[in-house]
Amino acid sequence: MKNMRCTHCGATDLAAGFIEDSGEHARGHARWVEGALELGVFGGAKRMGRPRWLIDAYCCTQCSHLELFARPR
């Protein structure tokens, strides 16, 4: 992404990275799921039929603030 600024301190030097999901059966990256969190019978999140988006993450090199952006697969 071009011309990004940290929303915390205003710096323009943001380092690209990712948010890791290392939970059971994880694919190694986190996803954003549309809608409010609803728990199923066994305590897991209901997500069937909901759009899932990848998360792009950037860390400000000046103040360490994280900027997250959701994008479709």
Strands (E), the chain: 14-17, 31-33, 52-60, 66-72
pLDDT at position 2: 64
Check whether 1 has a pLDDT greater than 60. Answer: no
Mean pLDDT over 56-65 rounds to 95
Instruction: Classify residue 25 as exposed, middle or buried by CB count within 10 Å of its CB (0-12, 13-18, 19+).
Output: exposed
pLDDT at position 5: 92
For 34, the 3-state DSSP assignment is coil
Give the global pTM.
Answer: 0.71
Where along the chain do its domains lie? 14-72
Which amino acid belongs to residue 21? D
pLDDT at position 52: 83
Task: Kindly report, residue by residue over 16-50, the tens digit of the pLDDT.
Answer: 998 888 777 777 778 888 788 788 888 777 777 78
